[in-house]
Homo-oligomer: A and B are copies of this chain.
């Protein structure tokens, strides 16, 4: 098994006839999926998504794939293939197109409609090529064809990339619902044909590789949804992802059956459901969906609100309802259904929402107490089916943290793939396919690129470290006005603290200590601002540790007058 080492060097120039695969996101994490395929001097990109920050990345809005390694080669990019319309696959496209606006986007009808709606908000009109399963397109030196895959959004595709180096299949995100609501199965017959013909490398979704067995069919959540509708005494509020067309279709079907009207709440929900309805992915009987303002006038037992916020996002409608900071006031016997996954990292936020809703008397139905969610990603059982049909010569697990990537490689090995033909890479690790063998070739720079407010990349790891210290411990700042000639303090020292749990009165105790230390320094002729800062840092640090056992950031400022 190939395994990356921290000391991996820059990959050598790509050998003639070889294909290089470099993930710039999505390996070692769940999100910001992006893979660069290089062949014959050209680059084909598959997906370009965002990652949502964790608590250790405070104040960050989004995390992008790191484009550094392709920055000088945007002109070599022949296209971006988007496998489906989820944020972790399309969310960074606006940022890539700001680098070169005319990179063509290739994807299915729904995928392109969703990215175009998103780009319109960024005032970008992209070049696009719509493709369908079964279709083949020559894109630069890459022969691409597309397979239908089933996922938690309609119209998802896997992509097959043929070059002189061999045939590669990138699954995108997929699962294998054998009774999908739209009848569009993952094309195992297609995978099987590729396997028979010889698949040199597969890049396979690892998200659920640790989960034994099989994902239940999407339609198996209908009984739990029906139960919620049948027993709801008052208003029903259903939260889900704004792109989960089939989930919301089932909610609409229930609403028809139980004679309720539906309103969509939240910008992305309204936008995406509009797109899905216009293109025929969402079937909406006339008069079922009405405006959020109009629905308020109906009696509560005739109402369904479909909203976002199922991940506990603090600004979303659902969180605000839970904290009574929304015009929709939750009352006793409202029913709230979280028909959604619980993405790792969001647990505290989601439970806070559930507890808030429960506190106001709502009956909250969620995946913890009812079968109102099935995953969008193949579990171990499904992956075994996949490997047995694909018979790949080399396997590169993608879309996962280390635990998922490793579990996925183990599954491939169980089906007969030699351990040494599984490649465990991470972001930035270049894997070369040459002579039918995939091997790690080196590593390109690949860090986190933070979006915070209006800027991309201004927030560095150092800023985040400062934020973590400030957030955990607060700070104490000391302002001393010093006579430039004598080095003596003139006027009063100002000491200020925020977030350190030390009040103004307690702070006064440190002032004489600083004054004494600075007087000693002046007496010894130490007048250099940097040295005075160090003295202040030492005195205040010792005092705060001795008195409080805490370690706030200490910021001395010397102003010379």
Contact = CB atoms under 8 A, between A and B. Distances in A.
A345 B349 CA distance: 9
For the complex formed by this chain, how many copies does it contain in all?
Answer: 2
Most buried by B among A344, A474, A561: A474
A547 interface: yes
A351 B401 contact: yes
A212 B453 CA distance: 44
A183 interface: no
A337 to B, nearest CB: 14
A518 interface: no
Given A351-B403, A453-B549, A458-B548, A470 B474 contact: yes
A557 B481 CA distance: 12
A344 B355 contact: no
Contacts of A479: 479, 494, 557, 559
Contacts of A548: 452-455, 458
Given A454-B547, A470-B474, A344 B344 contact: no
A359 interface: yes
A59 B471 contact: yes
Contacts of A344: 347-348, 351
Contacts of A345: 347-348
Contacts of A212: 369
Which 10 A-B residue pairings sit nearest by Cβ, starting from the closest?
A471-B471, A453-B549, A59-B472, A470-B470, A466-B499, A358-B402, A454-B549, A459-B501, A355-B402, A467-B499
Interface of A: 3, 28, 54-56, 58-59, 210-212, 332, 344-345, 347-348, 351, 354-356, 358-359, 361, 364, 368-369, 401-403, 405-407, 426, 450, 452-455, 458-460, 463-464, 466-468, 470-475, 477, 479, 481, 490-492, 494, 496, 498-503, 547-550, 553, 555, 557, 559-561
Given A211-B368, A345-B347, A470-B475, 4 more contacts: A347-B347, A458-B502, A491-B561, A496-B557
